[in-house]
Amino acid sequence: MNNVSLYPESSSSLWIENLIHGLSGLSIKAKQCLFCGASPFQKVEVYDTYAYGKVLCLGGNIVLTEAESTYNEMIVHPAMFMHSQPKTVCCIGGGDGGCLKELLKHPGIERIVIVEIDQMVQETVTTYFPTLGEGFSDSRVELVFDDGYNYLKKNDTCFDVILVDSYDPGGPVQSLETADFHKVVSERLNENGLVVFQTDSPTIRGYFLRFTISGVSPFFQSYKPYLCSIRSFPDGICSFLICSQSEKILAQFDEERYNAFSGNGLTAYYNDGIHRGAFMLPEAIRQMI
C-alpha cells in the first residue's frame, strides 16, 4: 500500500527546526512558507504546518503556533487573578497579539499598552494570524513601537500589571536583560502591582532564570518562579518569574472573579488547579535556583 496516499504530508520536504545549541530540539514538517522577511531587528517567517497550523518564527526561533495558547495564557492569567482589581497593563514585546488576546478576556481591563520594538512582527501577525491581530483595534489598546526599556524610562505612567514578553535571551532587545531595566519596571508599578518576566526553558537555559532572579531581587520584596508545559517550546517547558513588593499579593487568588471567568470556556490550558500547581517546582529546578 502506498503510504503517501494515507499520509499526504509525508511528501513534503520542508521542515522547521528549532535546535538548542545545535544539539537537540524540535522539528515540524511544513506545508509551505507563507512569508519570509527581514526587519531591522530580525528575520520574520510564517509557515503553514501540518501539526501546529500556522507558525511564526523570529530570528530562527519558533515563538507562536496556532495550535497552542498555553504560553499566552500562562504569562497573563496568573498575575491577573493574583491582583485584586487589574485595570491597566503594559505588555513589553507583545507585538504578536497573543498576550493581548488573553488580556482582553478580562472585562475589568481599562487600558493596555503594547510596546513592540519590531513593527514587522505586528504587521505580519495582523496579516497571517487575524484572530490575534484583531485585538489591536480595540479602543482600550495603545500600540507603541519602541524599545520597552526606553518606553518605561521616558514615561512615568504606572500600571497594575507589567508583562515582559521577551522572545529569547540575547535577542533583539537586550536592554530588557539589564539591572536598570528591572529597576525601572519596579518603579512603574502601582501599589500592589505585579510584573511577570518570561525566563525561558529552565532545563535548557536555567542560567537565565537564575540571572533574572538575581536582577530583580534588589528591587522587589517577593518573587516566585512558575512553570508550564508547552510542546513547541525547547524541552517542552517554559518558566516565568512573577514579582511584587508584597509576599501576600503573590499568595492571593481572586476565586470569585475566576469562577465568573472560567464558566465561559475562555482558556484551553489555564485553570485554578494549574494556577496553584504551576508554582510547585521539580526538585532539580528548586536546587538550581
CA 228, chain centre distance (Å): 11
In degrees rounded to 5, what are phi and psi of residue 151?
-60, -50
Q: Which region holds residue 200: left if phi is over 0, alpha if psi is between -120 and 50, else beta?
A: left
Quick one: angle between helices 206-216 and 179-187, nearest 10? 50
The cell numbers describing 93, all together, are: 514585546
In DSSP notation, 24-40 reads EEEEEEEEEEEEEEE-S
Looking at beta carbons, which pairs linking 16-21 to residues 24 or more positions away fall under 8 Å? 16/47, 16/49, 16/55, 16/57, 16/62, 18/60, 18/61, 18/62, 18/232, 18/234, 20/201, 20/204, 20/234, 20/235, 21/204
The answer to whether the CB of 38 falls within 8 A of the CB of 32 is no
Respond yes or no: is residue 165 known to be catalytic: yes
Catalytic pick from 96, 147, 160, 165?
Answer: 165
DSSP 182: H
Separation between Cα atoms, residue 273 and residue 60, nearest integer Å? 34
Separation between Cα atoms, residue 139 and residue 135, nearest integer Å? 9
The answer to whether the CB of 121 falls within 8 A of the CB of 58 is yes
Residues identified as active-site: 165
